[in-house]
């Protein structure tokens, strides 16, 4: 990374478990002139309102270019139970997860990728999930969430191909944070061994190490908290 006064970081979903930990670690790192911590509750940044995304990008554009845009938003339950069977499929559940987990990050990319510097390394990343891997899916279930994360992974790959043409030093990546003790995972933690349930601070620390090690050759991939590439 280069001179801290010349670069900023953006965390989208800074009110979330992992997003809050990321924002505070980025702030503490001293590597950025500013860390823009955006959230629905805090700054009126709503993934379902493109005008609010555009307005946030315009505010970020007033300062130094972001070297990191980290999308830490997402939804799993909140009003819907993840499906155990096709019998539970519900159009509104499918569309809600798709809107928040895939369409939202795509619109963030639309408004924030133009802010990335062309002459320096930069990273655009979004929290995905291992269950979004089609090749890794042996358990089934959670149709809406899985499908929305698979769609996110495809969008990230597509964006990486396009961005690579103009930003040869940039990286776009999806990340799997592990199973992390947050509101999102709270109803599903019963079977998780204590050593496999990460604190948000631990996961954020691992994820920041992973992205620090990514190169443009990795762009378009999805990586787990331990740096391992997740199959498509
Ligand atoms: N926790 C895990 O075990 C785990 C495992 C695999 C993947 N992940 C992924 O990691 C990401 C973050 O999860 P988390 O565990 O930190 O969850 P979390 O604590 O529930 O945080 C979710 C974040 O998403 C934001 N959000 C939801 N809908 C939004 C909208 N319409 N507009 C703007 N922001 C919105 C929330 O904002 P509000 O505060 O305004 O609601 C919150 O900041 C998700 O993509 C999740 O799929 C988590």
On the CB side of 66, CA atoms within 13 Å amount to 29
75 Cβ inside 6 Å of ligand 1: yes
Cα 143 to middle of ligand 1, angstroms: 18
The residue whose CA is least distant from atom 17 of ligand 1 is: 184
Residue where the block lists tokens 């990273």? 123
The pLDDT tens digits for 179-208 are: 999 999 999 999 999 999 999 999 999 999
129 Cβ inside 6 Å of ligand 1: yes
> Do residues 173 and 227 touch, judged by C-beta distance below 8 A?
no
Closest CA to 10 of 129, 114, 99: 114
Backbone angles phi, psi at 69, to 5 degrees: -120, 115
46 Cβ inside 6 Å of ligand 1: yes
- Cα 21 from Cα 160, distance rounded (Å): 26
State whether residue 137 is helix, strand or coil. Answer: coil
Specify the DSSP element, H or E, that contains 155: helix 143-166
**Is residue 1 over pLDDT 60?**
no
> Do residues 228 and 172 touch, judged by C-beta distance below 8 A?
no
To test ligand 1's pocket by mutation, which of 12, 40, 71 has the most ligand atoms within 8 angstroms of CB? 40
Nearest atom in ligand 1 to the alpha carbon of residue 41 is 40
Alpha-carbon dihedral sign for residues 47, 49, 51, 55 = negative
Cα 46 to middle of ligand 1, angstroms: 12
Structure tokens of 126?
Answer: 């979004």
Closest CA to 163 of 102, 122, 107, 210: 122
* Residue 192 DSSP one-character state: S
The pLDDT tens digits for 118-128 are: 999 999 999 99
Cα 98 to middle of ligand 1, angstroms: 13
> Do residues 166 and 124 touch, judged by C-beta distance below 8 A?
no
185 Cβ inside 6 Å of ligand 1: yes
State the chain's mean pLDDT as an integer.
Answer: 97
- Cα 2 from Cα 12, distance rounded (Å): 22
CA distances from 66 to 48, 70, 205 (A): 23, 10, 19
The pLDDT tens digits for 55-103 are: 999 999 999 999 999 999 999 999 999 999 999 999 999 999 999 999 9
To test ligand 1's pocket by mutation, which of 45, 54, 71, 74 has the most ligand atoms within 8 angstroms of CB? 74
* Residue 46 DSSP one-character state: -
To test ligand 1's pocket by mutation, which of 10, 11, 13 has the most ligand atoms within 8 angstroms of CB? 13
pTM value?
Answer: 0.98
pLDDT tier, 154 (very low <50, low <70, confident <90, very high otherwise): very high
Residue where the block lists tokens 């987990």? 101
48 Cβ inside 6 Å of ligand 1: yes
- Helix 17-29, helix 200-212: angle, nearest 10: 60
**Separation of CA 130 from chain center:** 13
Cα 3 to middle of ligand 1, angstroms: 31
pLDDT of residue 4: 64
**Is residue 214 over pLDDT 60?**
yes
């Amino acid at each position: 990374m280069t001179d801290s006064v010349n670069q900023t970081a953006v965390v989208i979903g800074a009110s979330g478990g992992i997003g809050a930990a990321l924002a505070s670690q980025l702030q503490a790192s001293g590597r950025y002139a500013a860390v823009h911590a955006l959230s629905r509750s805090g700054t009126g940044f709503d993934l379902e309102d493109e005008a609010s995304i555009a307005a946030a990008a315009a505010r970020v554009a007033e300062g130094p270019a972001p070297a990191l845009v980290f999308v830490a938003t997402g939804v799993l339950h909140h009003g819907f139970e993840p499906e155990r069977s096709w019998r539970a499929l519900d159009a509104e559940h499918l569309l809600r997860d798709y809107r928040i987990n895939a369409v939202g990050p795509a619109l963030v990319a639309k408004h924030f990728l133009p802010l990335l510097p062309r002459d320096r390394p930069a990273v655009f990343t979004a929290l995905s999930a291992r269950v979004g891997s089609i090749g890794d899916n042996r358990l089934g279930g959670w149709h809406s969430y899985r499908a929305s994360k698979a769609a996110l992974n495809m969008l990230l790959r597509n964006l990486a191909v396009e961005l690579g043409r103009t930003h040869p030093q940039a990286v776009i990546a999806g990340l799997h944070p592990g199973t992390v003790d947050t509101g999102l995972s709270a109803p599903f933690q019963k079977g998780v061994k204590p050593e496999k349930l990460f604190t948000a601070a631990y996961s954020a620390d691992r994820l920041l190490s992973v992205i620090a090690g990514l190169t443009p050759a990795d762009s378009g991939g999805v990586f787990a908290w331990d740096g391992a590439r997740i199959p498509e």
